[in-house]
Amino acid sequence: MTEDATSSAPDRTVPAHRPVEVWAPNAAEVQLVSEAGPVAMSRDDSGWWHAGLADTSAGADYGFLVDGAGPFPDPRSRRQPAGVHGLSRTFDPAAHAWQDGAWTGRQLAGGTIYELHIGTFTPEGTLDAAAARLDHLVDLGVDFVELLPVNGFNGSHNWGYDGVLWYAVHEGYGGPAAYQRFVDACHAAGIGVIQDVVHNHLGPSGNYLPNFGPYLSDAEGNTWGASVNLDGPDSDEVRRYIIDSALMWMRDYHVDGLRLDAVHALKDHSAVHLLEQLAEETAVLSAFVGRPLTLIAESDLNDPRLITPREANGYGLDAQWSDDFHHAVHVALTGETVGYYADFAPLGALAKVLTRGFFHDGTFSSFRGRLHGRPVDLQRMPAWRLVVASQNHDQIGNRAIGDRLSAQLDTGQLAIAAALTLLGPFTPMLFMGEEWGARTPWQFFTSHPEPELGVATAEGRIGEFARMGWDPAVVPDPQDPATFERSKLDWSELQRPDAGRLFAFYSHLAVLRREHCDLTDPRLLRVAVEFDEADGWVKLTRGATEILLNLSTSPRWVPAAGSTVVLAFANNADAAPRLDAGQVLLPPHSVAVLA
């Protein structure tokens, strides 16, 4: 085996024409199973079993018998054409003739992310079909596309967070070859790719890792099941399993970054946390491949240590999501204050998020019943390290009926949400379809072949909504195929006049971000917010640029220093802002950008 360029540990992936090996430290016997019949494997001192010169040519199906049980798929399988319960198939990532030699990557700072789910982004639900829609994203002006998880899961469709084979690409999306074609197409269009990956738990069906070794922890689990063994006996190889998978996406598939799901659920008491180790090895790989590689954490801890450089005793990740931004924008526009929205009721919450990064930065969280978060260092932490959205897969899909903001708000209010997201101080992320005010819901859907899992999933969803005050009677059945079909984007909606007008506004916002350096200034200390709670207006000042927002249903005078309106949008297409002696009259539910 060759040595991994990013580590002193061997590269344990299974390319074509190389000996097959698998880690099973507690097994007494392991056999390689293929069309040629079973082949005995030999064990080394580290618990790895080797098959010598067994046939693993490209396209060969194989699996492993562990102490007579199985055959099981390879834990590092690249392809699962027969599903997660079937045999693995060899795949040579080097066989792809990459066309992105001129691609030098993109820095996250100043960029815009577009989050999408392959199965519902297009009617076909494939990577090739998504690649055919890239012109739309170019017209929109995004810099990165972020894919929800694509790794191997049981069934035909789900969100992707029930994956059990972290090295494989779901066959229904087109498999690994289609994934390479998609990344190549994105880079040709000038768009970087961020892959959402899940390392905090495994799905409920097809997880054979415990048959091979101590991949799961005996300690307390997390919300989704058993925790992964990150710090117990034999955890060194488990950590390598995770990190090698992460590096694989960026090395073999030319991905530009990873979104790390729910890192607060990673239970690791090691002196060097898994995230710090991953950040260090990613930096080494970035230097090796000669392009930026980005790590973005999803965390509900509001802890800046995740994005503090390693030199300053942080974990060294590049960015993290800030749900506080979403909550503040959602409450300001919808007035919804149940559950975790309760603390974000006044416009002061929005102002605090825009100027200090987190709302809960050591303050009392009524939803949690305790103090939560810690402050962002405004002097040193650049604002682009916080990724924000007014809508995303979690905040829409985890609502009772998966309703988007477009189900509650008019077009002017949707434009206000867009302006806050794209012209605020943070890294903006859009969710597929929001750019035209998509009216299709995005609901929680599954396709568990096992009936008992389907029932348990549906019952669990209803239980989750109790604290939010949502009616369980309206929750759609995740297992109903109609729930999945309803969640697919309807691209014909773009023909509606209001949809086209909103899309054009989003595109103009992206242009403003590129053309006005004030709007990518990373210093939170250069952000000022004024608001009037009673009149319902907000003004965000970034250098010489002012963003004026009228959240009320009546015209409002807003003080302004700028003399030129460079962009405006109102719910009434014929309404326009009026400048008069240092103030602007804003129509109801409208935005005006002044310079």
Compute the distance between CA of residue 531 and CA of residue 547 in angstroms, rounded to an integer. 12
What token pair was written down for 242?
Answer: 């995770």
Check the annotation: does 395 bind a ligand. yes
The verdict on whether 261 is a catalytic residue reads yes
Q: Is 323 annotated as a binding residue?
A: yes
- 498 among the known binding-site residues? no
C-beta of residue 408 within 8 angstroms of C-beta of residue 334 = yes
- SS3 of residue 414 by DSSP: helix
3-state secondary structure 535-554: CCEEEEEECCEEEEEECCCC
259 is in an annotated binding site: yes
Q: What single-letter amino acid sits at 335?
A: G
Is 495 flagged in the annotation as binding?
no
- The answer to whether the annotation marks 151 as part of a ligand binding site is no
Cα torsion 555, 560, 562, 566 to 10°: value is -30
Instruction: Kindly list the distances between the CA atom of residue 127 and the CA atoms of 116, 379, 494, in Å, as whole numbers in the listed order.
Output: 11, 42, 21
Is residue 397 a known part of a binding site?
yes
The token duo for 301 is 């801890």
403 is catalytic: no
396 among the known binding-site residues? yes
Under a CB-based contact definition with an 8 Å cutoff, are residues 91 and 79 in contact? yes
Active-site option among 21, 244, 261, 303: 261
- The partner residues of 294 in beta bridges, in order of sequence, read 257
Does 154 show up as a binding residue in the annotation? no
Query: DSSP string covering 85-147, please?
Result: TS-EE---GGGS----TT-----STT--EEEE-HHHHSSS-SHHHHHTTHHHHHHHT-SEEEE
The candidate with the shortest Cα–Cα distance to 476, out of 462, 490, 463, 466, is 462
- Which residues lie closer than 8 Å to 45 by C-beta, 6 or more apart? none
Has 128 been labeled as part of a binding site? no
The answer to whether the annotation marks 326 as part of a ligand binding site is yes
Residue of 21, 298, 318, 518 marked catalytic = 298
Q: Which residues are annotated as a binding site?
A: 259-264, 323-327, 393-398
Q: Which residues are annotated as a binding site for substrate?
A: 259-264, 323-327, 393-398
Catalytic residues, by residue number, are: 261, 298
